[in-house]
Structure 1
Amino acid sequence: MSDRLELRIKNKAMYLLAERCIFFPENQTLVIADVHLGKAAHFRKAGIMIPQQAGTDQDFGMLQHVLDKYDAARIIFLGDLFHSSENEAWRHFVDFSDRHPHTELILIKGNHDVLPLAYYQQGNLTVHLETLQEDFILYSHAPLPAVPPGLLNIAGHVHPAARLKAKGKQTLRLPCFHLETSLLLLPAFGSLTGTFALPKGNAQQFVTTGRAVLAVK
């Protein structure tokens, strides 16, 4: 078992990472979906008792880990980077971006990214409102309803998971990368996000245990 699984699409290498994101070695780019920073504070504001730092320390630790591990020059966030209005977690992100002035940070806005544009600029983020196309890859937050021929839509939003059969009648649900003909869905990066089980159908699915990436047969 390996902590990454290499795919080649149109001769472009990409690594599906156990850390629930992907890495393009060609241009040292990490692609990360659905971090949902500040979700714990959002829950607390709604009266749901949860530790104030729940998720935050773990998510920033994992973000720093993958950045260092793959010596990434860029990070593309596929939306829902931050969960709601400003709170302490956002100031942690500004500190993170200040510590990495030479790392290009790109955000494709998601439905939870509701902060004013000035906040994202303070975090050194280049913001795209809907999509970003690079070569044959079309990045978006949610899967696009129609993808132009020859392009691959890489998206988040769904928080995909695969159901695996265990002994007896038990099943195990794990976050997964879900690859169809023109769509690659990324699992949610954030530790406080839920998952949505997607039927495999004719797609390829690759589950992550947090330590390894495995193809679903």
Structure 2
Amino acid sequence: MILASQQIKFEELTLILLKEKAVWVPEINSIFIADLHFGKAAHFRKSGIPIPEPIHQEDLNILYSLLTTYDPKNVYFLGDLFHSDLNNQWNTLNHFLRGFPNINFNLVLGNHDILPSSTYDLSTFSVFKEPLEIENLILSHEPLEEIRDGKINLCGHIHPGIRLVGKARQSVRLSCFFYRPNQLILPAFGRFTGLALIQPSSKDQVYGITKEKVIPILS
């Protein structure tokens, strides 16, 4: 039987891979999300490309479901929370998160997180410019090249995807969790993002994501 979620045990922690493209770690009551890219639609509209705003509302709906289902103590955004320049969607996001006053929201800055420091100071987020260590986890935006023994790097940036080919040569691309020794690369949470197809080795594990479940593809 394939479960709606999949689990990875690392040291004392259980990393639960959710079909909502997030990781839940019950032992520390925390949710991890990468690459939301909120505000990207408005960024494109400013450049004259008519992207509809409801695409971000769908992201908020999924985030709302996660927060109300798991009631975490902490949420960690692993970079690229907001897409580049400031626009009114920043206020929309902060207003939404202020509806959860009992949750601590944390941001490890990514390459698209370029808002002025004063903007972050007035936000709902605790902001970290460098990789953050929690228990056995090292949180970063870009995958780290060197990881100490006994630690696992949770990161994003790549927007990992996998291409599956059927017997009749039909194919489908899926977002995925990409797990390799001491590192878990999370899928992009935001719907308005692309995919980078990965080439896993024999030591890697890929977990594809559908609307219904998380599927182990390679082991």
**Which structure 2 segments of 5+ residues have no match?**
none
Map of 1:19 onto structure 2: 20
Shift of 1:102: 1.3
Shift of 1:201: 1.5
Letter in 1 for 2:207: F
Q: 1:30-69 counterparts in 2 under 5 A?
A: 30-51=31-52, 53-69=53-69
Q: TM-score, normalised by structure 2?
A: 0.94
Asked whether the 8 Å contact 1:94–1:122 carries over to 2, the reply is: no
Map of 1:71 onto structure 2: 71
Map of 1:208 onto structure 2: 209
Map of 1:184 onto structure 2: 184
Letter in 1 for 2:16: Y
Q: Secondary structure at the match of 1:106?
A: strand
Sequence identity percentage? 36
Asked whether the 8 Å contact 2:176–2:208 carries over to 1, the reply is: yes
Q: Secondary structure at the match of 1:99?
A: coil
How many residues are aligned here?
216
Q: TM-score, normalised by structure 1?
A: 0.95
Q: 1:150-161 counterparts in 2 under 5 A?
A: 150-161=150-161
Asked whether the 8 Å contact 1:40–1:54 carries over to 2, the reply is: no
Map of 1:4 onto structure 2: 5
Letter in 2 for 1:15: I
Letter in 2 for 1:65: S
Asked whether the 8 Å contact 2:78–2:107 carries over to 1, the reply is: yes
Shift of 1:123: 2.1
1:120-156 Cα deviation digits (max 9, x unpaired)? 2322211110200112211100001222233211100
**Which structure 1 segments of 5+ residues have no match?**
none
Map of 2:92 onto structure 1: 92
Asked whether the 8 Å contact 1:6–1:16 carries over to 2, the reply is: yes
Map of 2:129 onto structure 1: 129
Letter in 2 for 1:195: L
Q: Secondary structure at the match of 2:58?
A: helix
Give me the CA root mean square deviation: 1.2
Given the alignment of the two structures, is residue 110 of structure 1 paired with residue 116 of structure 2, yes or no?
no
Map of 1:198 onto structure 2: 198
